[in-house]
Amino acid sequence: MGARSSTEPSSRYHWERYKARWVVRGFTQRPGIDFSETFSPVVKPASIRSVLTIAASRSWPVHQLDVKNAFLHGFIDEQLYCLQPAGFTDSDHPNHVCKLARSLYGLRQAPRAWFQRFTDVARGIGFTPTRSDVSLFILRRASATAYLLLYVDDIILAASSEELLQHIVQQLRDTLAIKDLGPV
């Protein structure tokens, strides 16, 4: 094998992998004025073990899913304004600001807004968060059951049948940018 020149791109880097994000300076936000709740719960390790044990003992399909740009899916309740993003300033109105309707990376409340948005989506599908772990969601329909575990933007989905699992994945895809990473 010959040596690769320093100008030749590495095969593991592809142009579609580069991301640009508009990140706001959330460190300038003030508690009680710009935000209130910031905490976003994550699934407990005991819940993960329990669901995987149930799925394995019943030979259920289990998939891992990823929500792309999760924090951008959240809605914010507060009225927030930020400067125009660098490089995209309106030359006719350089001193104007942007009023945010959705959360952005860097906002103190972005994790909580995302969790609330996901909870709403999960409830719309028919899931119910459990009392013991708010990041463990259960769906029961007649003899069909599904468990959904949420850890920030990562999901483990176990269902009593492959058809139910794929139906839930499709419902999630209809609302959120979901990538199915395949069986666990």
168 is a domain residue: yes
Task: Tell whether 142 is covered by a domain.
Answer: yes
Question: Is residue 61 predicted with pLDDT exceeding 90?
Answer: yes
| Residue 34 pLDDT > 90 | no
pLDDT score for 102:
74
Q: For residue range 15-29, what is the model confidence (pLDDT) as tens digits? A: 566 555 555 654 455
Q: How far apart are CA 183 and CA 165, in angstroms?
A: 11
Tell me the two tokens of residue 10: 């590495």
pLDDT of residue 65: 97
The number of folded domains in the chain is 1
Contacts with 1 (C-beta within 8 Å, 6 or more apart), sequence order: none
Structure tokens at 165: 């699992």
Within-domain flag for 122 = yes
Structure confidence at residue 180 (pLDDT):
94
C-alpha 183/C-alpha 6 separation (Å) is 38
Domain that holds residue 47: 40-70+109-183
2 in a structural domain: no
For the stretch 58-74, what's the b/e string if a residue is b when 16 or more beta carbons lie within 10 angstroms of its beta carbon? eebbbbebebeebbbbb
| pLDDT over threshold 50, residue 125 | yes
Identify which has the larger pLDDT, 130 or 38.
130
Question: Residue 114 falls within a domain, yes or no?
Answer: yes
The model carries a pTM of: 0.73
- pLDDT tier at 93, thresholds 50, 70, 90: confident
Terminal alpha carbon distance of the chain? 36
Contact in structure between 138 and 127 (CB atoms under 8 Å): yes
With respect to residue 144, please indicate whether it lies within any of the assigned structural domains: yes
**Which pLDDT value is given to residue 52?**
97
Residue 1 lies in a domain: no
User: Does the pLDDT value for residue 181 go beyond 90?
Assistant: yes
How much of the chain is in helix, strand and coil states, percent to nearest 5?
A: 30, 30, 40
Is residue 123, in this structure, part of any structural domain at all? yes
What CATH number does residue 157 fall under?
3.30.310
Over residues 129-163, the pLDDT tens digits come to: 999 999 999 999 999 999 999 998 899 999 999 99
Burial class (CB in 10 A: 0-12, 13-18, 19+), 41: middle
Overall average pLDDT of the 70-74 stretch: 75
